[in-house]
Amino acid sequence: MPSPAATAPIDALYREHRDWLQGWLRRRLGDGHTAADLTQDTFVRVISGGQAQAIQEPRAYLTTLAQRVLYNFWRRRELERAWLDALAAQPQELAPSPETYALVREAVETIDRWLDGLPPKVREAFLLRRLEGLAHADIAARMGISITSVERYVKQAIVHLYTCPVQAEA
Amino acid sequence: MPAHAHALPLDAVTEQAIDWLVRLDSGHSNDGDQQAFAQWLAMAPAHSAAWMDLQQRLNQRISPALSQLQADGHASPSVRALSTAAGHRPGRRALLGSAAVALLTAAGGGIWFNRRMPLMAWSTDLHTGTAERRRFALEDGSDLLLNARSSADLYFSSTQRLVRLRAGALIAQVAADALRPFVVQTAQGTVRALGTRFMVQQEQGRTLVSVLEHSVRLAPGDEGAGIALEQGSSAWMQSDRVEAVFATRVDPSAWSAGVLEVHDQPLADVLDALRPYTPAVLRVSAAAARVRVFGVYPLDRPMQVLQDLVDTLPLRVRRWSDLVVYVDVRDA
């Protein structure tokens, strides 16, 4: 529980700049609802950043944080659309229920974050093995590469998963 | 976030463990690979430590999410969406229409593959000692993997294949034989194989059954047509009823790979799983028995597991000689 002394600057920041920040986000998103959500997310980052007292230029600080929030939002939406496009391209019509969909979306985002920074072919080889269960020879045939390359890619993905530092929440 | 900006170092033994994982999980590994791997694991404690650490980290990081997407209909779109790096995805269409499809949550964020122990011997009266897991090839082409301190009798004839599990746990890999049903009998009832692979564990007053492939039929008290149990499910069988075990991320058959996997389970369960792997008597106080435990532990080194638990949980261990170990909560 933060002490009153620590929360006071955040309260002030929130009161004085919330409407301005929400307007800033709305102009970029064209959507008031999402702008309100992302304003909240941005203030959550202010609180967890713990630097509210030291801020010299509050609006510059808030927009820096808000840009990160926006980036993550767009990235998640892009990922979601890519997933839904791929789903629509399947022979069977398999639209998940909203509950299922929330779980699937969360799992897709988690994997995306952990694979962040890996080249597309490495991601594909690893996912064909781990999600579709294809053997290395089948992956090689599917991707038009050698089995040795498949092994190298799968190893690269596992090394990355093992070594990359604990990820911040998006 | 640039994920490799502060990448952790990768030591040589961990890299070897990763090479083994890639080789064994290629979809093409054979018995020779598995034997070579078993030798590598046994060669040095650092090898098995690196192996456990690798499994544990992958399980913490990505395995539950991968399991979530292995359900039918989700794997393929996920591969396609995720194979494209961020910034290269087409953003064309808006959102979904919702219809109903049940999510078959794949049970077990689990182990990455089952380490098969090399085939050793067969006998009509099977048993294993402390800390010994053993695979038995049966004359009909089936095989049984017995957990430590387990025993089973075989009653095979021209009309039946009956395995009586007297203690411990087994995993049956059943060869098809239309004329002779394959049945495992415990103190509480029978498990009839309709498919190929399942686990049966005899506990005090009850039997745990877990279906790894296809399905089985449970008949408590050996009576009636029985209740079907499907792949990925587990159930407790008592002499008069069957109770579902609710889906968890834990794989009850993980012992076959020498692994104990627990997710929010009481310490008492962990000690039950360790007992067959140590000659020591493990005692636990009532308060300590309730402590919740998470993690993946090496069954083959039970004292190491106890040490890990003491290091990470508010527990302490007292020993009287090497034969009695008492686990209690640590005073605040």
| Neighboring chain A residues of B86 at a CB cutoff of 8 Å | 75, 78-79, 112, 116
| Fold (topology level) of A1-94 | Rna Polymerase Sigma Factor; Chain: A (1.10.1740)
Best A72, A111, A124 member to test B by mutation, with max B CBs in 10 Å, is: A111
The alpha-carbon gap from B78 to the nearest alpha carbon of chain A, in Å, equals: 6
More confident site: B11 or B246: B11
Measured in angstroms, the CA of A15 and the nearest CA of chain B are apart by 30
CA B185/CA B192 separation, integer angstroms:
9
Measure B213 CA to nearest chain A CA, in Å: 15
Give the pLDDT band (50/70/90) at residue B14: very high
Q: Which residues of A touch B75 (CB under 8 A)?
A: 131-133
* Three-class secondary structure of residue B157 per DSSP: coil
Which of A77, A94, A108 shows the shortest C-beta gap to B78? Answer: A108
Total length of chain A: 170
Give pLDDT, residue A88. 67
Q: Choose between B123 and B256: higher pLDDT.
A: B256
**Residue A103 or B227, more confident:** B227
DSSP B171-200: EEEPPP-TTS-EEEE-SSEEEEESSSEEEE
At the top level of CATH, the class of B125-245 is: mainly beta
Instruction: Using the structure block, give the residue that is written with the tokens 């045939």.
Output: A141
CATH 3.55.50.30 location in chain B: 258-329
Closest residue in chain B to residue A140, using alpha carbons only: B26
pLDDT band at residue B112 using 50, 70 and 90 as cut-offs: very low
d(CA A43, CA A58): 12
Partners of B76 on chain A (C-beta within 8 Å) are 86, 90, 132
**Is residue B43's pLDDT more than 60?**
yes
pLDDT grade for A168, boundaries at 50, 70 and 90:
very low
Q: What pLDDT is stored for residue B101 in this prediction?
A: 20
Pairing of strands B215-220, B206-213: unpaired
Place of tokens 């009509």: B124
Are B54 and B14 within 8 A, CB to CB? Answer: yes
- The reported pTM is 0.47
ipTM passes above 0.90: no
Mean pLDDT of A3-15: 68
* Helices H / strands E in chain A, number of each: 7, 0
Q: Where is average pLDDT lowest: A75-89, B90-104, B116-130, B272-286? A: B90-104
Q: How crowded is the C-beta side of B48, counted as CA atoms within 13 Å?
A: 19
pLDDT band at A149 (very low <50, low <70, confident <90, very high): very high
d(CA B279, CA B257): 20
Q: Among B1, B79, B93, whose Cβ lies nearest the Cβ of A132?
A: B79
Of A142 and A73, which is predicted with more confidence? A142
Q: Give the DSSP letter of residue A114.
A: H
A:B CB pairs within 8 Å? 203
Domain range list for chain A: 1-94, 115-170
Query: Residue A49's pLDDT is what?
Result: 73
Distance from CA of B279 to the nearest CA of A (A): 35
Facing residue for B1 by CB, picked from A90, A116, A151: A116
> What number of CA atoms fall less than 13 Å from residue A150's CA on the CB side?
25
Asked whether the domain spanning A115-170 has the same topology as the one spanning A1-94, the reply is: no
Average pLDDT of the residues of chain A: 82
User: Which chain A residues in 94-123 lie under 8 Å from chain B, judged by CB atoms?
Assistant: 94-101, 103-104, 106-108, 110-112, 114-120, 123
- For chain B, the first-to-last Cα distance in angstroms comes to 40
Cβ of A111 and B78 within 8 Å? yes
Within 8 A of A151 by CB-CB distance, chain B residues are: 22-23, 26
Burial of residue B229, with CB atoms counted within 10 A of its CB: 0-12 exposed, 13-18 middle, 19 or more buried: buried
Using the Cβ of A130 and the Cβ atoms of chain B, whether some distance falls under 8 Å is answered with yes
How far is it, in rounded angstroms, from Cα A126 to Cα B25? 11
What is the percent of chain A where pLDDT is above 70? 83
Grouping H, G, I as helix, E, B as strand and the rest as coil, residue B127 is: strand
CATH code, A115-170: 1.10.10
A26: distance to nearest CA of chain B, Å?
19
What class is the B258-329 domain? alpha beta
Q: Which residues contact A57 (CB under 8 A, 6 or more apart)?
A: none
% pLDDT > 90, chain B: 17
Chain A residue whose CA is closest to B57:
A162
